[in-house]
Structure 1
Amino acid sequence: MVRYRRNHVAGATYFFTVTLRNRRGDALVRNIDLLRESWRCAMKRVPHEVIAAVVLPDHLHAVLTMQDNRDDYSRLWQEIKKGFTRRLGAPSPWQSRFWEHTIRSESDLSAHVDYVHFNPVKHGLVASVSAWPQSTFHRYVRSGQLPADWAGSREFPQGFGER
């Protein structure tokens, strides 16, 4: 068995990609309420702050700051996946692993938050970021951090990754 070396830095911020086995499925958006409920329960067990997140049909991206003093993000994803699978009442749809990147600077954080928000456009699911409902982009708009028409086309916006 391959042992992955994961970076753990107390209180750090990380970018994650978590995918379903069936990369052509839509279980995540079709069952978004189950995923949200699972994530809320997992947050109680493994405290973290959601900086940015987007849920697509077959995968999700998230930028999270861990708040458990151990940065036990592996346990967090285990809790989310387990809770979703149990609520779904079916065999686990998840790939067993996830991808993680430690955020190292403000520009790295900005680039990853932009990547998360632009992802539905990148995958051709919508023509504008604001058209995808399962994204923290809408929270950024409500707080005045981004305009509602940010990245309105299929091309990366000018200044992508900069704020």
Structure 2
Amino acid sequence: MSAYIRPCTPNTPVFFTVCLAERGSTLLIDALDVLRAAVAHVKSYRPFDILAFVVLPDHLHAVLRFPEDDPNYSQRWGSIKAQFSRDVRRAGLVPPWPVADAEAQRGLFRKGEAGLWQKRFREHHCGDEAEVEAQVRYCWADPVKHGLVQRATDWEASSIHREVRLGRVQPDWSAAFLNGNLGEAA
């Protein structure tokens, strides 16, 4: 088995796709508050900046920036996935560990693997601001692409609402974006 070494480039925004093991599940939306709490908990002791975040039923996308002195995002995602997995089990949103999975209860699975998440995630290091903006737009437009809503601002589980509140994005952003007028959308 080959060992994949993830680059840790300080202060470079990174685009992520993180998926549940069961594609087609709605767990991330059903347990959105649990996911938000897990992200906030990890962020409280391992800080990072959220440039964009969108949660879909079975996967999520994020553009994050990490501190120069602590760029290890793999540990952060592992902690978020583990916290979420524990909390949804405690809340009864997924079945408890079966007796046959007693080894999982004893911690023989790696963090975050508790059968809910895919073992790995995809990441892409953004080369410049234009690429960061493109990845942020991708996050916000993904619920529209999947046919979940007609406008990006109609999707509750998206950081686009923060940007609209702060006046950095127009409420009709998705119309401009989907019509190809990217200058108006950003």
Q: Partner of 1:122 in structure 2? A: 145
After superposition, residues 78-157 of structure 1 pair within 5 angstroms as 78-89=78-89, 90=96, 91-152=114-175, 156-157=178-179
Letter in 2 for 1:130: T
Q: Secondary structure at the match of 2:118?
A: strand
Larger Rg: 2
**Partner Cα distance (2:78, 2:182) in 1:** 32
Contact 1:51 1:63 in 2 (8 A): yes
Cα offset for 1:151? 1.3
| 1:7 to partner: Cα distance | 1.9
Indicate the larger mover: 39-48 or 56-65.
39-48
Identity among equivalent positions (%) equals 37
List gaps (5 residues or longer) in structure 2.
90-95, 97-113
CA contact (8 A) 1:52 1:64 kept: yes
1:3-59 Cα shifts (integer Å, max 9, x gaps): 223221112210000000111100000000110111111112321000100000000
Distance 1:64 1:119 in 2: 17
Deviation at 1:68, TM superposition (A): 5.8
Q: Which has the higher helix share?
A: 2
Show the counterpart of 1:75: 75
Task: Read off the aligned partner of 1:111 and give its amino acid letter.
Answer: A
Q: Which residue number corresponds to residue 20 of structure 2?
A: 20
Q: Distance in 2 between matches of 1:30 and 1:92?
A: 17
Paired residue secondary structure (1:146): coil
Contact 1:28/1:57 (CA < 8 Å) preserved in 2?
Answer: yes
> Once the two structures are superposed, what CA deviation does each residue of 1:48-90 show, in whole Å capped at 9, x if it has no partner?
0001000000000000000261311000100100000000114
TM-score (norm 2): 0.81
Residues in 1 aligned to 2:82 and 2:15: alpha-carbon distance in whole angstroms: 20
- In 2, Cα distance between equivalents of 1:109 and 1:11: 12
8 A contact 1:48–1:65 mirrored in 2: yes
CA RMSD of superposed structures (Å): 1.8
Distance in 2, Cα, partners of 1:70 & 1:28: 27
> How far does the alpha carbon of each residue in 1:86-125 deviate from its partner, in whole angstroms, 9 at most, with x for none?
0011443100000001111110011001000001000111
Shift of 1:160: 3.5
Runs (4+) off by over 4 Å: none
